[in-house]
A and B are shown apart, each in its own frame.
Chain A
Amino acid sequence: MSKLSLAVEVAGLRLRSPLMNAAGVLGMSPPILKRVYDSGAGAVVTKSIGPAPRTGHPNPTLVRVSCGALNAMGLPNPGAEYFADEVKALKEMGVPVVASFFGGSVEEFAEVASTLSEAGADALELNASCPNVQEELGMLASDAGNVEKVTAAVREETRLPLFVKLSPNVTDIKEIAAAAERGGADAITAVNTLKGMAIDIDFRRPILTNITGGLSGPAVKPVALRCVWEVAEAVEVPVIGCGGVTTWEDAVEYLLAGASALEIGTAVMTHGFEVYGQVNEGIRRYLEENGFSGVKEVVGLAHQIGEEQDSKADRYSIRV
């Protein structure tokens, strides 16, 4: 019997597996992204690329916490023009590339998107949500109007599948997701890191140079899963789940919550590159053992139970 295929199609992008690396994780250079691909990812996501080179924040840029990590890298990147060659190198290695990008203004977002599209990326992921450059670049993802405007401007510049990556640090992620969809997003990536911090009790100072950082790993999974659930109910376009996926069970939860694909980042710290293969195998076994013939069949399945509960809630709730 041939092995069950894990292939998925997300926003017109055909992937051999629903797994990718999360932006910012291992995305600096082609050979290491190739290793992510060889470990079982369906595509690789680059470091977020901006219009000009940035060294990012000085160290310390990472703090290990009990169920994950806090980071404040500060979007280090070599600049879009320079990185265009790295995208080309990856394509020559036969690796599907999702280019993550950011800008400091609507114009810069559009300009970088255009450069990376021309470089041959297979899809773009608009990083509307890095929590670590707020003072410089503003927290784009907390304003629905801005998200729509930036997405629409990028949409004009590229015909590639366009993912918009949102922040969990907002009051209502549904509203922001809907704005990205109106702006022309082909998929929503939910979510970026959760803003947090750590203090050293002997020095009595924040550890991260940036003071605050983004929390990732198992600690954020319940929050990110809830975000995926809400976004899946708010938009028609596919959702890409991201946040603390470490085991195949986590992955299946995300699929059931409505994610069509998944990004795995911090689990590489605890499980190594092998995590991609392990999660792939676990999803495959789950699908086979439960009589499904593909990933697509389980996407969003948990929402059916949500509907039952909604009708129950309707019956019992006190109407005002």
Chain B
Amino acid sequence: MHIKSEKNRTVKLTDIVSECRDISSLLFRDEETRGAKPGQYLMVWLPGVDEVPMSVSAIDMDGLSRITVRGVGEMTLRLNGLSPGDRVGLRGPFGNGYTVQGEKPLFVAGGSGAASLMPLVEEMHRQGTTPIFVLGARSADMLLFVDRLEETLDENLVVSTDDGSRGYSGYASGYAAKLMEEDVFDMVYTCGPELMMAKVYQSAREHGLPIQASLERYVKCAVGLCGNCAIGPYRVCKDGPVFDADMLSEVQSEFGVSQMDASGRVTRVEH
């Protein structure tokens, strides 16, 4: 039991780096986060604002860890507006994380999904595996980690934009389906908008490929107690956030379809 990592603490930000339009990374030094597995998340707290789950987007880069935040609501805009020396509260890392598997894996990231997948790419690269990575965004200026990925993956990086401003014109899920048709993979990793992941899951299933998808739900306790992040019989905060093919098939009626709001009412998944 890692009680220490589950406890609240604060860290001083050493730097804030703009990654692309709307997205910044917050850099900090934290012993517990340096022990994270790729795919795990932190609960990030700003007093008087909110506490939200954030993927660890770099576990240990020269001693520093990162979270990478898209500014979309009050909490995320406030996080991206912080300065070096400002403090944030942390709990975690929490969740199961990805399992490193496969000799020829396919990665599919959309929106800010590359945040969760980046440490896994780096881990696999260190172990001698260079995955094919489909990085999708609405337009060229919103491609997260495109330089970091290009450096690691070279021509194994495939870029797609919805508006065709860079790379393949269309959805990342569409390009991933095409790749699964043309080539042979032994694992699919995906993180991004749930509707995208649901399509990637369908393609993977059609080709009989194993898959690991990182899900998002309204997380409150993060320790598997309150049940607010439940999807089917699983708690995204503790059994997840990474779901494998078996788990996804069990939650098919909800995956890409519905989620619980803060009151426990079921609402539609919109993106």
**Chain A residues close to B by CB (< 8 Å):** 24-29, 31-32, 34-35, 47, 53-56, 58-66, 69, 71, 73, 76-79, 82-83, 198, 200, 202-203, 205, 207, 265-266, 268-270, 272
For the complex formed, measure the closest distance between the CB of B263 and the CB atoms of chain A, giving whole angstroms: 4
- Using CB atoms, name the residue of chain A closest to B219: A59
Asked if residues A31 and B226 are in contact (CB atoms below 8 Å), the reply is no
B10–A200 CB distance below 8 A: yes
Top 4 nearest A-B pairs (CB, nearest first) are A59-B51, A55-B262, A28-B227, A202-B10
CA distance A4 to B89 in the complex (A): 50
B8 and A200 contacting across the interface, CB-CB below 8 Å: yes
Chain B residues at the A interface, C-beta cutoff of 8 Å:
1, 3, 6-8, 10, 43, 45, 47-48, 50-52, 87, 89, 91, 220-228, 230, 232-235, 260-265
Cβ-neighbour of A28 out of B47, B223, B224, B260 (below 8 A): B260
Whether the Cβ atoms of B233 and A200 lie closer than 8 Å is no
Q: Could you tell me if B263 and A55 are in contact, using CB atoms closer than 8 angstroms? A: yes
| 11 pairs, A vs B, C-beta closer than 8 Å | A28-B227, A28-B264, A32-B227, A32-B233, A60-B45, A64-B3, A69-B223, A76-B228, A78-B265, A200-B47, A203-B89
Q: Which of A34, A53, A83 has the most CB of B within 10 A?
A: A53
**Most A CB atoms within 10 A — which of B87, B220, B234?**
B220
A32 touches B235 (CB 8 A): yes
User: Residues of A contacting B45 with CB < 8 Å?
Assistant: 59-60, 207
Q: Which residue on B lies nearest to A86, using beta carbons?
A: B264
Q: B264 near A34 (CB under 8 angstroms)?
A: no
With A200-B89, A203-B87 given, is the CB distance from A26 to B227 under 8 Å? Answer: yes
| Partner pick for A64 among B8, B233, B265, CB 8 A cutoff | B8
Contact between A31 and B230, CB atoms less than 8 A apart? yes
**A49–chain B nearest beta-carbon distance, Å:** 9
- Residues A64 and B226 in contact, CB atoms below 8 Å apart: no
Contacts of A69 in B (CB 8 A): 221, 223, 225
The answer on a CB contact under 8 Å between B47 and A203 is: yes
Say how far B48's CB is from chain A's closest CB, in angstroms.
Answer: 8
Name B224's contact: one of A63, A77, A268 (CB within 8 Å): A268
Q: Which residue of A lies closest to B229 (CB)?
A: A28
Chain A residue nearest to B11 in the complex (CB): A202
**Given A64-B8, A71-B221, residue A58 in contact with residue B50 (CB < 8 A):** yes
A60–B1 Cα gap in the complex (Å)? 22
Indicate which residue in A55, A60, A79, A266 contacts B51 across the interface (CB closer than 8 Å): A60
Give B257 Cβ to nearest chain A Cβ, in Å. 14
Verify B221–A207 contact, CB threshold 8 A.
Answer: no
- Point out which of A47, A59, A73, A76 has the most chain B C-beta atoms below 10 A from its C-beta: A59
Give the residue name and chain of the B residue nearest to A35 (CB): B233
Instruction: Judge whether A64 and B263 touch: CB under 8 Å.
Output: no
Would A77 and B264 count as touching, CB distance under 8 A? Answer: yes
- Shortest CB–CB separation between residue B120 and chain A, in angstroms? 25
Quote the shortest CB–CB distance from B75 to chain A (angstroms).
9
Shortest Cβ distance from residue A235 to the other chain B in the assembled complex, whole angstroms: 30
Contact across chains for A73 and B6 when beta carbons are under 8 A apart: no
- With a CB–CB cut-off of 8 A, which chain A residues contact B221? 61-62, 69, 71, 73
Contact of A26 among B8, B225, B263, B265 (CB under 8 A): B225
Interface pair B50/A24, CB less than 8 Å apart:
no
Set B43, B47, B262: member contacting A205, Cβ < 8 A: B47
Contacts of A64 in B (CB 8 A): 3, 6-8, 91, 223
| Minimal Cβ-Cβ distance residue in B for A269 | B223
Nearest-neighbour CB distance to chain A for B30, whole angstroms, equals 13
With A25-B227, A69-B223, A270-B1 already in contact, the answer to whether A198 and B263 are too (CB < 8 A) is no
Shortest beta-carbon distance from A124 to chain B in Å: 18
Please, how many angstroms separate the alpha-carbon atoms of A31 and B260 in the complex? 13
**Structural contact, B8 and A56, CB atoms closer than 8 A:** no
| A66-B3 CB under 8 A given contacts A25-B226, A32-B235 | yes
Q: Are B226 and A73 in contact (CB under 8 A)?
A: yes
Which residue on A lies nearest to B251, using beta carbons? A31
Neighbouring B residues of A268 by C-beta, 8 Å: 224-225
Shortest Cβ distance from A113 into chain B, in angstroms? 19
User: Shortest CB–CB separation between residue B67 and chain A, in angstroms?
Assistant: 16
CB nearest to A82 among chain B residues:
B265
Please indicate the chain B residues that have their CB under 8 angstroms from the CB of A56 in the complex: 220, 262-263
Given contacts A61-B221, A202-B87, contact A29 B265 (CB under 8 A): no
Which B residues are CB-close (under 8 A) to A25?
225-227
